[in-house]
Amino acid sequence: MSILQTAVTAKAHTNIALVKYWGKADQSLIIPTNDSISLTLDHFYTTTTVRFDAHLTADEITLDGLTLPTDGQQRMRHFMDMIRHEAKITTFAHIETANHVPTAAGLASSASGFAALAGAAAKAAGLSTDRQYLSRLARRGSGSASRSLFGGFVHWHAGHDDASSFAEPLTEKVTWPIRMIAIVTSRAEKKIGSTNGMQASQSSPYFADWVKTANADISPMTAALFKEDIKSVGEIAEHNAMSMHATTLSAEPPFTYFNSGSLQAMQAVQDLRLTGVNCYYTMDAGPNVKVLCEAADVPAILARLQPLFGSYNLVVAKPGPGLTYL
Ligand code: DP6
């Protein structure tokens, strides 16, 4: 059996940024305007199986056993064209993807999806599985996917071209009991996805300042992560996230990812802090709020959040691993 017929399955976990990626310097290569830092999470992941098949006349793509709608397939087909170009082949592939993310936890992300696809497709096509190379490939599917190749705390170097824009682990195996509690404030599909949201935000008069702020956050965030200093990590992450969201509020036309539940959640975290609990919030391109804290404070935080949001809408996550082959 030729290498091209072997089915390859890869597993990648989702990640949440502590210093956000929000803006592209190059749309087609997905080169970001600034460096970013993330935390890969444990039990939210995607598994993807890729098998090239000379009999196919197009890629055959399924998600959780169902054929994806055409527009959902377009980004993956485009990605597979890039893999074929890299591998100098023309063969199409069967691609089966399964998302292991609690329904509506607001953590389903293109990050784990494109990281798993990059890993599986590259190996099935006979390309290198060097993780820096896979990070560059995954980046071209979805920027945040470049970070999901690695576990723990990860730094994506913005770079200036395809070769220099890749992620690298800061600490892959995190022993610090840092936790992220996801607060689900809405189950509806987001109206403005991250690709369109960040493009629209580049019209904000504050966008250039956002880029400066984000790049300036990298070195103190790195130091705080190495010191396992939850107060500094949380303060930088919270301020960084709100600076990112300021570019949506000041975009032309303005928009926001906040809903009333997001505001309520942020207020609850601030109130908890006044009672001496070290907890901080961050938000991405959707209304759900993620709370950063240490394991010892999880019970107190949940006790405060449960009456407001219900246990079903609270998901506690730990640091998780990088890409693996199954
Ligand atoms: C707010 O990686 O989804 O989650 O590169 O256009 O696919 P594309 O965007 P995507 O953006 C993620 C934005 C974010 C912040 C982050 O993860 O750094």
In this structure, what are the phi and psi dihedrals at residue 109, rounded to the nearest 5 degrees?
-150, 155
- A 10 A CB-CB count for 129 gives 15
CA 195 to ligand 1 centroid distance, Å:
7
Is the pLDDT at 189 greater than 90, yes or no? Answer: no
Output the pTM of the full model. Answer: 0.97
Backbone angle region of 119, left / alpha / beta, with phi > 0 → left and psi within -120 to 50 → alpha: alpha
CA 187 to ligand 1 centroid distance, Å:
19
Identify each DSSP E strand in the chain by its residue range. 8-19, 24-26, 31-32, 36-52, 60-63, 66-67, 93-100, 153-157, 166-171, 178-183, 280-283, 289-294, 314-317, 324-325
Work out the average pLDDT over 249-275: 97
Class for the domain spanning 178-317: alpha beta
CA 127 to ligand 1 centroid distance, Å:
26
Could you tell me if 57 and 92 are in contact, meaning their C-beta atoms sit under 8 angstroms apart? yes
Please give the CATH topology (third level) of the domain spanning 3-175.
Ribosomal Protein S5; domain 2 (3.30.230)
Measured from CB, residues less than 6 Å from any atom of ligand 1 are 17, 20-22, 30, 36, 110, 142-144, 194-195, 284-285
Could you tell me if 314 and 305 are in contact, meaning their C-beta atoms sit under 8 angstroms apart? yes
Same fold? 3-175, 178-317: no
Of the ranges 30-39, 92-101, 170-179, which one carries the lowest mean pLDDT score? 92-101
Listed residue (151, 177, 161, 172) closest to 44, CA to CA: 151
CA 288 to ligand 1 centroid distance, Å:
15
Per-residue pLDDT reduced to its tens digit, 75-127: 999 999 999 999 999 999 999 999 987 655 567 678 999 999 999 999 999 99
By most ligand atoms within 8 Å of CB, the mutation choice from 194, 243, 245 for ligand 1 is: 194
Indicate the DSSP class of residue 145: G
Shortest-distance atom of ligand 1 to CA 21: 18
Listed residue (89, 169, 81, 160) closest to 131, CA to CA: 169
Domain boundaries, the chain: 3-175, 178-317
CA 285 to ligand 1 centroid distance, Å:
8
Which residue reads 């485009």 in tokens?
Answer: 78
